[in-house]
Amino acid sequence: MIPHRSEDNRAGVGRTAGRAGTRWPTRPVIAMMLFAAAALDLTRCGLAATATQAGPAALLVSAGLAATAVSLWTARGCHCGARWSGWAAFLIGTASGPQAAASGFHAAYVIPDTATAALGILIAAGVLATAGRAHQPTPPETRPL
């Protein structure tokens, strides 16, 4: 019978290539994409604030600030490794396209809306591409006999 050893007590070949060697750098990338989505939401808030009608502009600014807060909160959770952050990032990514289309791609909003839609697709695809890798256990290290 071979007793179970923890990763910290293992000796031999491949000790430095443990968990850190197999970790994918996707969470920081998704967090940076969420920061970019928050910046695009703030850009749209600034563009909406220059509108002449106060009622619709206030609605657009408050929605943009709420989207920015949610994106930043999710980016922080993703950076810290929270389990809920992957689902939240996926929902933000899938909602970014319709959110950009809701403003209608008017002249002042063409660049931020197009960038928001493209970034939303990248976030959703990035989360889906790494969803299976996040919960797979790391294979045990092999030791020579």
| Pair 75, 34: CB distance under 8 Å | yes
Instruction: Dump pLDDT digits (tens) for 126-141.
Output: 888 887 665 555 555 6
Q: Which residue has the tokens 């600030």?
A: 65
Q: What is the DSSP letter of 104?
A: T
Amino acid at 3: P
- pLDDT at residue 18 in the model: 42
Q: What is the mean pLDDT of residues 20-34?
A: 72
SS3 state at 51: coil
For the record, the structure tokens of 38 come out as 């928050």
* 78 pLDDT higher than 90: no
Q: What is the mean pLDDT of residues 32-58?
A: 80
Q: What is the mean pLDDT of residues 42-50?
A: 78
Q: What is the mean pLDDT of residues 52-65?
A: 77
Please give the radius of gyration of the chain, using alpha carbons only, rounded to the nearest integer: 21
- pLDDT at residue 42 in the model: 85
Read off the pLDDT band of 19 (50, 70, 90).
very low
Q: Give dist(CA 113, CA 138) in Å, integer.
A: 40
* 6 pLDDT higher than 80: no
- pLDDT at residue 36 in the model: 92
* 28 pLDDT higher than 50: yes
Q: Give dist(CA 63, CA 100) in Å, integer.
A: 12
Read off the pLDDT band of 72 (50, 70, 90).
very high
Amino acid at 107: A
| Pair 18, 6: CB distance under 8 Å | no
Q: Give dist(CA 30, CA 89) in Å, integer.
A: 8
| Pair 123, 93: CB distance under 8 Å | yes
Percent of the chain with pLDDT over 70: 69
Residues in the chain: 145
The DSSP line for 107-125 is GGGHHHHHHHHHHHHHHHH
